[in-house]
């Protein structure tokens, strides 16, 4: 199966192309330049693989959480491409793609993205024997200081949340930290890795049903909440 994967929910902008058993990727840390980079990256990958756009059989996208604008950019691009090509979409958690940046062993994985405003987007995962990863708590927006984690004998921590809140997170993680990297971002090749299973298992959806997941859903106060009504 040939499909494109897009991940633009954090500072990293990346696109991956899966064709047959091969995965190729373009990725760049390029804050605020995602909108100019994605389609040229996709063209570059298709040219490298010698594929035409019409040969794409699906689109995968990191659906957040992350920067609202970046999440929407990726999802809107995926929606538009998939509708035009009449192919389905798989949405993948950007926290899950990020977790796949962690070393492959038996330690639990904490993927944590700096959500600004003193908060983090966070979830805990565990590797399965087949290399896939499984959510062991839930995706949420939280503060580092109030983070509650499931039991584990060791942890890998990945993502910008570590860079911002290392000291507090060290205090919250009550098991050995086997590795920690605050300079990791969700990447399209990992979105593709998760999506390949979803396509195979029939979990793809129509493009209009591919929607962002922001986690932070309270973004404004109503008149009643402002005490003005």
- Binder among 117, 148, 167, 219 for another protein (CB under 8 A): 219
Q: Kindly state whether residue 121 participates in binding another protein, applying the rule CB under 8 A.
A: no
Please name which of 144, 138, 142, 149 lies closest in space to residue 169, comparing C-alpha atoms.
Answer: 144
Task: Classify 191 in phi/psi space as left (phi over 0), alpha (psi -120 to 50) or beta.
Answer: alpha
Which DSSP symbol is given to 124?
E
Please name which of 68, 114, 72 lies closest in space to residue 91, comparing C-alpha atoms.
Answer: 72
- Binder among 69, 134, 150, 176 for another protein (CB under 8 A): 69
Q: What CA–CA distance (Å, rounded) separates 75 from 211?
A: 6
Residue 65, preceding peptide bond in cis (omega within 30° of 0) = yes
Q: Which stretch binds another protein (CB under 8 A): 102-110, 136-144, 176-184, 208-216?
A: 208-216
Task: Give residues 41-60 in contact with another protein (rule: CB under 8 A).
Answer: 42-43, 53, 56
Q: CB-wise, 39 or 145, nearer to another protein?
A: 39
Q: Kindly state whether residue 214 participates in binding another protein, applying the rule CB under 8 A.
A: yes
Please report, as ranges, the residues that interact with another protein according to CB under 8 A: 35-40, 42-43, 53, 56, 68-69, 72-73, 75-81, 83-86, 207-208, 211-212, 214, 219-224, 226, 228-229
């Amino acid at each position: 199966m040939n499909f494109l994967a897009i991940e633009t929910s954090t500072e990293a902008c990346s696109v991956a192309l899966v064709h047959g058993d091969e995965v190729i990727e373009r990725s760049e840390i390029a804050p605020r330049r995602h909108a100019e980079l994605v389609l040229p990256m996709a063209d570059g990958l298709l040219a490298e693989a010698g594929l035409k756009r019409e040969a794409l059989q699906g689109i995968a996208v990191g659906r957040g959480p992350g920067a609202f604008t970046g999440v929407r950019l990726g999802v809107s691009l995926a929606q538009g491409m998939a509708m035009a090509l009449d192919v389905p979409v798989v949405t993948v958690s950007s926290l899950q793609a990020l977790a796949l940046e962690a070393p492959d062993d038996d330690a639990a994985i904490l993927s944590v993205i700096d959500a600004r405003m003193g908060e983090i987007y966070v979830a805990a995962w565990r590797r399965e024997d087949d290399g896939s990863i499984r959510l062991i708590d839930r995706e949420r927006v939280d503060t580092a200081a109030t983070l509650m984690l499931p039991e584990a004998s060791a942890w890998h921590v990945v993502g910008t949340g570590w860079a911002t809140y290392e000291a507090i997170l060290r205090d919250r993680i009550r098991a050995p930290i086997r590795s920690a990297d605050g300079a990791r971002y969700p990447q399209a090749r990992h979105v593709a890795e998760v999506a390949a299973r979803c396509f195979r298992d029939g979990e793809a959806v129509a493009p209009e049903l591919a929607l962002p997941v922001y986690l932070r859903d309270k973004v404004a106060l109503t008149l009643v909440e402002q005490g003005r009504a």
